[in-house]
Amino acid sequence: MSICIAEEWSSMEDNAIKIRRSSNLIKGFMTLVIIMQAVQFYQTNIMDLGSIAGTIGVLSLLRGLLLSPYLLAAPLNHWFKSDLNFSKNSYKYFGLAFVLIIVSSF
């Protein structure tokens, strides 16, 4: 009984580590997107609203991924095969990202 509990605890710790590592990676990408937008503004001295909309769209997409932590522990090919689902708030962020990325393309 205690071996089963120890294995379950270890599995939970492994998932927590995977989630933390994945969320740190996504936050790093978010920081990179913001830095790239700031560098573009610094180089051109022009505030391109389409580019800003695209940046906010990408940030919304990444934020939507952060709101579903159990998906971050699962491999990408299991996202669509298993019973794992995105949270309701993730879908809201994905919708916002879709609209903003479409707007930024015009």
pLDDT of res. 54 = 93
Distance between CA 57 and CA 96 in Å, rounded?
A: 7
Predicted pLDDT at 73:
77
Over residues 42-82, the pLDDT tens digits come to 999 888 888 999 999 999 999 998 888 777 777 777 767 76
pTM: 0.79
- pLDDT value at residue 39: 94
